[in-house]
Structure 1
């Protein structure tokens, strides 16, 4: 056995160890979701069952938390994406000397602990409600609204970073040419900027929704009497894990993998369509050149 063979075996061992560390818990959790035992465990195997998925769907508290999480995620997307886009566009318009300070201010919520953001959001809106003599049923004390606002304070910064990465490749001569041809700033934004930023808008929306869906530190303070999926799960885990939690994990993994596969399929389809279009254009140019005798 040569040293090269030993090196390959060691590399293979560490690769297997690495992927086992990543996917081992997920595989074990997937197995426990179909085990008939009342406690989530792989062994002993007491038989295949899908009752834990039925029990999960019949859990009203879990379903209410899931619905609230979906609504909050949608609200965070509607609030964070425009704020992040505006912050990114502002970054490209201000003086270069001011940009580091502006960047420090808009990114600071990302560096702030979620507990601080949740408490500060709760205290701020409580003082606002007290100042206007608002009732406790008003928007100032609504847990869903406070959670959307609290999460958006730092998720919008993530969205801004996505837009900045896209704007770094933007050719400003297109905008200048459109303005020289008589287009207004609004027309330039909708006709040039938005089509260019469309992939970034989609990416920022997905990032904002997923970040909101799994957030706990900020949500636990702002949600108040309501509940989200993460707060419900945290409460259930304190009482001891159950197989229906494994069933929920399996569903989330399947949805995530399905979404990733669909996205990759559509991406490959677009790439193939672009390649065919380029080949057709080259063939048309070659045919035109042959016709003209070039």
Structure 2
């Protein structure tokens, strides 16, 4: 019975991985199929012309560049707001904590369409109220800057949850000890709290970046005349999608795999260095004990 459960568990794992990987394989294969439709059936032979068409598609490349700029801005702002909110919520208690936490989490539950429309209406109305119809001190008009603000309004909450979870393992006694030894609050933040939060901060930045890349609803209502990748793909659905989309997706998959491999190599290298340091510390302790006994 135990062996049967083990075999079923392995079978489930294999099927689950196939379920995740199969769409990526099909999508990548369509980038090399000599067919005008983004499909691998029927297979009409190998070709690389879709990568050439991708290079020559200025609108798609501009949309991709806009997507990266928006995602980078969203990641930076979301990390700052999310980390600050997590530290604030973790440092207070009572009803105020509950209210702040609920306000941050509520943005995740709101549909993206509502966030997009609300962002556009609020900022355009605010711009008109502050500067009037002729004033132009700040472009309170639909554009990529409004897409950034709209996405940050809910992605920052995701970063907050990651950082808040990391804060649960933080020992407040370290802060008190550092303050008792004469450290300032800024030094405690830079040298004790933030180093402990770095894994969650980096993870939150990655989540924010990729959440922004795949965002459509908020961007669609706030982008103005600018294109992002998801909006461009959506617009191509009506006129016909070509395998250039698959070529771009294949390149993104390759870049992601390379970054994952680099991360894993660095992680194992750091683990080996840490293990070597621990082994050296144990040997030093053993030598000290032997010397003390002698």
TM-score, normalised to structure 1's length?
Answer: 0.92
Map of 1:117-196 to 2, 5 A cutoff? 117-131=115-129, 132-133=131-132, 135=135, 138-196=138-196
CA distance in 1, matches of 2:78, 2:212: 10
- 1:57 alignment partner, one of 40, 55, 73: 55
The residue that corresponds to 1:233 in the other structure is: 233
How big is each residue's C-alpha offset from its partner over 1:147-201, in whole Å with a ceiling of 9 and x where there is no partner?
A: 1100000010011011101100111011111112222212211121111111122
For 1:238-262, what per-residue CA distance to the aligned partner results, in whole angstroms no more than 9, with x for missing partners? 3222111111121121112221221
Residue 102 in structure 1 maps to residue 100 in structure 2: yes
Query: What are the within-5 Å matches in structure 2 for residues 6-45 of structure 1?
Result: 15-45=13-43
Query: CA, structure 1 residues 40+153, in 2 after alignment: closer, same or farther (shift >3 Å)?
Result: same
Deviation for aligned residue 1:45: 2.6
The range that moved more, 11-20 or 41-50, is 11-20
In the TM superposition, residue 78 of structure 1 has moved relative to its aligned partner by 2.0
Q: Distance in 1 between matches of 2:3 and 2:90?
A: 53
Change (3 A) 1:101 1:285: same
Deviations 1:241-291 (A, max 9, x none): 211111112112111222122111111111111111100111111122222
In the TM superposition, 1:274-289 aligns within 5 A as: 274-289=274-289
Q: CA deviation at 1:24?
A: 2.1
User: For residue 73 of structure 2, what is the aligned residue in structure 1?
Assistant: 75
Alignment of 1:197-236 (within 5 A): 197-236=197-236
Aligned residues, how many? Answer: 292
**CA deviation vs aligned residue, 1:137-156 (integer Å, no higher than 9, x gap):** 94211511101100000010
Find the aligned partners of 2:92 and 2:2 in 1 and give their Cα distance: 56
Using structure 2 for the length normalisation, give the TM-score.
Answer: 0.92
Structure 1 residue runs of 5 or longer lacking an equivalent are none
2:120/2:142 contact within 8 Å kept: no
RMSD of equivalent CA atoms? 2.2
Larger mean CA deviation between 70-79 and 177-186 belongs to: 177-186
Q: Which runs of 5+ in 2 are unaligned?
A: none
Runs of 4+, deviation exceeding 4 Å: 3-17, 134-137
